[in-house]
C-alpha cells in the first residue's frame, strides 16, 4: 500500500509539472485560453493580471468541497495533492520560454501536453480538480468518458472567453481542448485497457491448464450448450491485457487448432489486481 501511494504521488507530481508547462509555456504566452478552472485562471491573468497559481489554488479549493460530496476520499486526497503541485509549478518561472508566431503550434502542443498530464494524474488516482471533478462525477454516475465530459464542461468557459481573448484565440482554445480530450481518451483506452477472451473448444481441460500455468490468474468456466448439436461443454472466459491476448491466441491454436476464440474490448473491470477503466 505504501508503495502504491508513493508511486501515485510521484506520477501526479510529474503530471502536475507537465500541466504547468502547457499553461506557462504554450497557452499564456500566446494568449490561448483553456476550459474549466484553468480557463478562468488564464482569463483572470489576461484581464486582471491575477497570478495563475493563486486563481488555480483558490477556485480548485472551492471545487474540492464538491468532490468531498460525490467522490471517494482517496480520489479527493490525491486531487488535493495534484492541485498543490500544479499551483507550485505555476508559480515557478517559465520552463521553455517558447514563443512563435504560428499560433496553431502552441494550441496543438498545449493540448497534447494537457492530455498527457491529465492522463498521468488520472492514472495516479487523482484529478486536476476544476472540470475534471465534474468529469469524474459524470464518469462515475453516467458512464461518460472523462475526456468527453471534460470537453463539454470546458467549452462552457472557453466559448465566452471570446470577449477577452478575441475570436481567433477562442477558436485556438477550442482546438487545444479537442486535442487534449482526444489524447486523454486515447491514452486511457490504450494504457490500462483490458480484453475479454472467450474460448470454445473440445479440449477445455487441456487449454485451461496451459492458460493457468502461463497467466497465473483467475480463469472462469461458463456452462454452455450448443443449440444445433445439443451438446454441453464449458466455455473459457478470461479478462486480460493486450499483451496477454497475443500469448493466449497462439497457445490455444497449438492445443486445439479448431478452437473458437472471441476477443472483446472491456469498458470497465474491477478487481484486486485489475484497474477500473476510466
Give pLDDT, residue 179: 92
Tell me the pTM: 0.67
- Are residues 234 and 175 part of one domain? no
Among residues 202, 193, 205, which one has the least CA distance to residue 239? Answer: 193
Q: Pinpoint the alpha helices (H) of 127-262.
A: 131-142, 146-158, 162-190, 204-215, 242-255
What dihedral do alpha carbons 210, 211, 216, 221 form, nearest 10°?
-120
- Are residues 133 and 240 part of one domain? no
- Are residues 217 and 172 part of one domain? no
- Are residues 110 and 20 part of one domain? yes
Residue 150 lies in a domain: yes
Per-residue model confidence as pLDDT tens for the chain (278 residues): 688 889 999 999 999 999 999 988 998 888 888 777 777 888 888 888 888 888 878 887 777 776 677 667 787 788 888 888 988 898 888 778 888 888 899 999 999 999 999 899 988 888 777 777 777 777 777 777 766 777 788 777 778 888 888 888 889 988 998 898 889 878 877 766 678 899 998 889 899 998 988 888 888 998 888 877 788 888 999 988 777 888 898 899 999 998 999 988 775 554 433 333 34
Give pLDDT, residue 116: 94
User: Which residue, of 190, 217, 243, is where some domain finishes?
Assistant: 190
- Are residues 222 and 126 part of one domain? no
Count of structural domains within the chain: 2
- Are residues 198 and 186 part of one domain? no
User: Which residue, of 128, 155, 190, is where some domain finishes?
Assistant: 190
Cell numbers placing 102: 504560428
- The domain of 203 spans 194-266
User: Which residue, of 155, 190, 225, is where some domain finishes?
Assistant: 190
- Are residues 255 and 221 part of one domain? yes
Contact 238, 219 (CB under 8 A): yes
Contact 268, 277 (CB under 8 A): yes
Give pLDDT, residue 226: 80
Mapping DSSP to helix (H, G, I), strand (E, B) and coil, where does residue 258 land? coil
Residue 276 lies in a domain: no
Give pLDDT, residue 193: 63
Measure the CA–CA gap between 112 and 107, rounded to whole angstroms. 9
CATH of the domain at 251: 3.30.70.120
Residue 249 lies in a domain: yes
170 phi and psi, to 5 degrees? -65, -40
- Are residues 146 and 54 part of one domain? yes
- Are residues 107 and 74 part of one domain? yes
- Are residues 66 and 173 part of one domain? yes
Give pLDDT, residue 166: 85
Amino acid at each position: 500500500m505504501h508503495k502504491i501511494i508513493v508511486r501515485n504521488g510521484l506520477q501526479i507530481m510529474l503530471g502536475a509539472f507537465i500541466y504547468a508547462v502547457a499553461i506557462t509555456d504554450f497557452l499564456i504566452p500566446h494568449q490561448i485560453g483553456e476550459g474549466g478552472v484553468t480557463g478562468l485562471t488564464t482569463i483572470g491573468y489576461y484581464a486582471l493580471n491575477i497570478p495563475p497559481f493563486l486563481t488555480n489554488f483558490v477556485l480548485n479549493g472551492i471545487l474540492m468541497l464538491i468532490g468531498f460530496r460525490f467522490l471517494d476520499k482517496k480520489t479527493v486526497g490525491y486531487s488535493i495533492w495534484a492541485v498543490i503541485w500544479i499551483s507550485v509549478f505555476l508559480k515557478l518561472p517559465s520552463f521553455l520560454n517558447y514563443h512563435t508566431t504560428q499560433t496553431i503550434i502552441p494550441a496543438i502542443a498545449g493540448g497534447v501536453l494537457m492530455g498527457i498530464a491529465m492522463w498521468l494524474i488520472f492514472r495516479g488516482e487523482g484529478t486536476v480538480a476544476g472540470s475534471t471533478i465534474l468529469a469524474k462525477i459524470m464518469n462515475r454516475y453516467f458512464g461518460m468518458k472523462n475526456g468527453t465530459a471534460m470537453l463539454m464542461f470546458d467549452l462552457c468557459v472557453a466559448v465566452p472567453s471570446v470577449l477577452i481573448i478575441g475570436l481567433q484565440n477562442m477558436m485556438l482554445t477550442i482546438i487545444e481542448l479537442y486535442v487534449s480530450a482526444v489524447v486523454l481518451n486515447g491514452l486511457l483506452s490504450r494504457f490500462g485497457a483490458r480484453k475479454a477472451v472467450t474460448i470454445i473448444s473440445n479440449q477445455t481441460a487441456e487449454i485451461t491448464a496451459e492458460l493457468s500455468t502461463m497467466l497465473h490468474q483467475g480463469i472462469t468456466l461458463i456452462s454452455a450448450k450448443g443449440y444445433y448439436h445439443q451438446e454441453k461443454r464449458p466455455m473459457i472466459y478470461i479478462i486480460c491485457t493486450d499483451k496477454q491476448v497475443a500469448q493466449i491466441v497462439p497457445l490455444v491454436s497449438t492445443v486445439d487448432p479448431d478452437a473458437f476464440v472471441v476477443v472483446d474490448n472491456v469498458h470497465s473491470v474491477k478487481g484486486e489486481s485489475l484497474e477500473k477503466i476510466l
